[in-house]
Chains A and B, each alone.
Chain A
Amino acid sequence: MQKTFDIPRELMTGEDLAQPGMLSCQGCGASLAMKLALKGLGERTVIAVPACCWTIIIGVYPYSTLKVPVVHVLFETAAVSASGIRAGLDMRGEEDVVVMAWAGDGGTFDIGIQSLSGVAERNDDILYVCYDNEAYMNTGIQRSGATPMGAWTTTTPSGAVKQEKKKDIEKIMLAHEIPYVATASVAYPDDMIKKFKKARTIKGTKFIHLLSPCPPGWRIDPAMSIKITRMATQAKVFPIYEVENGKYKINVYPEKKIPLKEYFKTQGRFRQMSEDLVKAAQERADRSWESLIRMDGEA
């Protein structure tokens, strides 16, 4: 039997709020992520974009590839600027328009975490999306708090690849007890679209963490970007789950058992990863997965 994606044909053939002509690299996960996110959210959406790849992808003045209102905001302000938009739209009586902050991992894990925490603490009614390509890719591949251990970047160069672990952003967000925290991946588009549809209907702060491949930054063939991203979930280093009002649900149970080593092998950025780091990464992934399974279904 074929596992076709549970996405209605009409949705995919309907009006594309993301138009072609995007200034993204070949095989860009972030471009695909936006296309799919807008399929889930629809036209009554306003987006705040901080400094990130999408600053470029969207196009050059006076043009834009997106057919929804977008405001570019400062690097560290995606969440709170979205809150400001929310307040403004509420004052205009447009409560049904969803406000999405669309930030990269640098803007989320690092420079933007203060204002994101503030927004989450106030439970402001926005959807915060982190499309995570695991480094500062727009500036040319520098390490971020989201860069995995063992990865090469231009600031964790050959011979000194990243020794520190990736921040567990979901735990940070869950500590704020916001109503919805989810991970999603461009390799699982139906799950992803469903989550955006769901997020639309929830009041308060929603946080979606998207794994979004970056062929130049991950040192991979653009054609392989979805396949490798899928492997991240299959190898359980990027589990796909959601936490709704504290209730965990794993959305994708990997069918195959893929050692993390196989996943690392697919990408040039992990070429210098030592056996010790591979082992440590595997242990960490196993631990997280086991604890996730324990949480699954528990209130």
Chain B
Amino acid sequence: MTMKKRSESAETYELKTWRDFPPMNISMGTMLHNMTGSWRFIKPIYEDKVPACQNACPAGNDIEGWIKLVQKGEYDKAYWHLKREQPFPAILGRICFRFCEASCNRAHLDDFVGINELERFVGDRVELSTPHPDVPEYNGKKLAVIGSGPAGMSAAYYGRLLGFRVTMFEMLPEMGGILRVGIPAYRLPREVVAEEFKGLKNMGIELMPNTSVGKDITLNELRDDYDYIFLATGVHESAKLDLKGEDESDLIMSGLGMLKKVALGEDVDLGKRVAVIGGGNTAIDAARTSVRLGSKVIVIYRRSETEMPAHPAEVEEAREEGVEFRFLAAPENIEINNDGNIERLVCCKMELGPPDESGRRRPVKKEGALFEVETDSILTAIGEIPAFDYLKGIVKTENRVVEVNEGMQVKTADEGGAKIFAGGDIIDMPHTVVHAVAAGKKASIVMDCDRKGTDFSEVFKKIAIGDGRALSFSKYMGWAPVNPVSQNNEKVVDSEKIVYDYFIKASQVDKKVVNADARRGSFDAYGKTFDEDQAQKEAARCMHCGRCTECDNCLIFCPDVSVLVRGEGQFGYAIDYDYCKGCGICFTECPRNAITMIAEEISIQVDDLQ
């Protein structure tokens, strides 16, 4: 605090004899000598915390930070700030599972903030190939990234920002993995993925499409050439239904396989009617893609709608496009006729039993409650499995996953060569793009720790955000936060800490989605990026949980005139501890919990009291 202490101008008057007294009782000075700060036993401090959205984001996206920059109209800054924790706003801004929105505190007032749309706005505001401002010199170590899906992209991006010389290997002719061949183009246009790769290339990352590790080059060769390897080869095929007749027809196919074919421009004929088995995002993508190919689609899911892992918004959109849903049903039997066509799909009605290990209620067959579904083809989407041939003899792959330690490192059969890490859908973690991005970030940080010889677990403690689900790259790098105030990366601001009285209800900005009829016939993206007005309106809904916005509540409400504005272009406020009585009103009335009360250090020794 640079300002002059008020207590220094305290005046006292000595009235030693009765002759010093004025005739009447009048004041001669202020009460500034009365330092009421000594009454305090708890004290307020300004401390930014972790908003619930950031805590929920597997990547630890500093959503509040860049929304604040958006509000100021500083879109470039917002873009680069966003990319600190989540490098691909244009991609995730379209297809993220958005754990952030699901935990947005605003939902307790009206509706969550449209974070995803805002992220897309920020991502689309800047040319994705713009040279990155923070790319450092090479650090002398080489990193091979196998697989160019989101986990690989993230590892490459952060690896490069940490100074590694990075090469990305992709077996397909197109870079992007699942982003390119899994997620349909109507959700994620091909150009966006291509542009992001231009950006990566501009950072100095070497891109190697059409290069299949295991065929074109062996893993052991890479182990010799590189210091670190990041495995991010993802999943490619759907799990089997395990039913008789499953393998007897080409019309029973993997949902993921179908999506890949469509993405690569291959012909797919599904017939008039399609049954999709499963309830995840792949199921919905397969269903909606089938709609676009001209089929009538039914999705069959063994639990009820509430247990469905697919994002509710996408289920809703699928419904709008005419997709039917049959819940609490599972395929029991497939009969294939002699032409290889599906004669009938027999399903069994299910009911929900006690919860299983995932916490969801386990579906149980209703004995004898069979029914038939007429369909020309069946798409399976009941879980995906990776292909691990290239790892044979080097890495153990049990239970369809690569086992990694806390630092994402893979145990290899032999010592020597590059240290191997893995992330994304090949390890045991939720199959979402944002989890993959988080895995890439985490692995890069561990590699950098390894390079420097530091203990990554100690580093994690310092850079973990909130509940510890995500790591802050920004904090690892020592970059300054948007608010130049002290940060507490542990405390999460949930809805109970928000003073909702200070917020006015305001509904979400309409996304202006193309109507379902038009959508059905096209693979074009159907949503439009926010214009500036829309973005500003939606950004204004952010409650900035846990982060000071200089709203002045503390300044206004302090009964003891002990909150001062720092002024002179400085951010925020200072508390005059000479007078602050520690009442805690500033803490309670901070709309967003950007103030913390801490115990006052008490200097009395027990010995003194005896």
Q: Which residues in A have some Cβ–Cβ distance to B below 8 Å?
A: 1-5, 7, 9, 12-13, 16, 18-24, 26-29, 31-32, 35-36, 58-65, 67, 70, 186, 189, 215, 221-227, 230, 234
Contact = CB atoms under 8 A, between A and B. Distances in A.
Contacts of A26: 39, 581-584
B551 A2 contact: yes
B605 interface: no
Given A2-B503, A4-B552, A26-B39, A226 B588 contact: yes
A20 B504 contact: no
B573 to A, nearest CB: 10
A1 B506 contact: yes
A20 B579 contact: yes
A32 B563 CA distance: 12
A32 B581 CA distance: 13
Given A62-B15, A62-B26, A22 B585 contact: no
Contacts of B561: 16, 18-20, 22, 35
Given A2-B551, A2-B591, A227-B589, A12 B556 contact: yes
Contacts of B22: 62
Main secondary structure of the interface of B (DSSP, over half): loop
B565 interface: yes
B560 interface: yes
A21 B579 contact: yes
Contacts of A2: 502-504, 543, 549, 551, 591
A15 to B, nearest CB: 11
A27 B502 contact: no
30 contacts: A1-B506, A1-B541, A2-B543, A2-B591, A13-B555, A20-B578, A21-B30, A21-B31, A21-B35, A22-B36, A24-B560, A27-B585, A28-B559, A28-B583, A31-B559, A32-B559, A59-B34, A62-B15, A62-B27, A63-B27, A63-B28, A63-B31, A64-B29, A64-B30, A65-B31, A215-B583, A222-B584, A225-B585, A227-B499, A230-B501
B30 A13 contact: no
- Among A1, A3, A35, A222, residue most surrounded by chain B Cβ atoms (within 10 Å): A1
Nearest to B589: A226
Contact of A12 (B29, B499, B552): B552
A22 B560 contact: yes
Nearest to A222: B583
Nearest to B6: A20
Interface in B2-50: 6, 10, 13, 15, 22, 25-36, 39
Contacts of B551: 2, 4
In this complex, the interface size class of chain B, counting residues with CB under 8 Å from chain A, is 35 or more
A9, A61, A62, A230, most chain B CB atoms within 10 A: A62
A186 B25 CA distance: 31
Nearest to A21: B31
A20 B562 contact: yes
B501 to A, nearest CB: 6
B501 A59 contact: no
Contact of A63 (B30, B35, B579, B583): B30
Interface in B563-610: 565, 567, 576, 578-579, 581-585, 587-589, 591, 597
6 A-B pairs closest in CB distance: A223-B584, A21-B31, A20-B579, A64-B27, A26-B583, A27-B583
B111 to A, nearest CB: 13
B557 A32 contact: yes
B553 interface: yes
B540 interface: yes
A24 B504 contact: no
A20 B31 contact: yes
A23 B34 contact: yes
Given A62-B28, A67-B30, A221 B584 contact: yes
B33 A63 contact: yes
A143 B562 CA distance: 32
A5 B556 contact: yes
A36 B576 CA distance: 18
Contacts of B36: 20-23
Contacts of B28: 62-63
A17 to B, nearest CB: 10
Contacts of B502: 2-4
B112 to A, nearest CB: 15
B27 A21 contact: no
A9 B552 contact: yes
Contacts of A13: 555, 565, 567
A23 B559 CA distance: 11
B503 A227 contact: no
A20 B582 contact: no
A2 B559 CA distance: 23
Interface string B515-550: 000000000000000000000000011010000010
B571 to A, nearest CB: 14
Nearest to B580: A20
Contacts of B579: 20-21
Select the residue from B28, B499, B561 with max chain A CB neighbours within 10 A: B561
Nearest to B537: A1
Contacts of A23: 31, 34, 36
A189 B558 CA distance: 11
Nearest to B28: A62
Contacts of B506: 1
A32 B22 CA distance: 31
Most buried by A among B558, B581, B582, B583: B583
Nearest to A61: B25
Given A2-B504, A4-B551, A189-B557, A27 B35 contact: no
A3 B502 CA distance: 5
A262 to B, nearest CB: 14
Nearest to A39: B556
Nearest to A224: B588
Given A3-B503, A20-B560, 6 more contacts: A4-B551, A21-B31, A22-B36, A27-B583, A32-B557, A215-B583
A24 B560 CA distance: 8
Most buried by B among A4, A7, A67, A186: A4
B503 A21 contact: no
B552 A5 contact: yes
B576 to A, nearest CB: 7
Contacts of A62: 13, 15, 22, 25-29
Contacts of B587: 223
B583 A223 contact: yes
Contacts of A27: 559, 583-585
A20 B33 contact: no
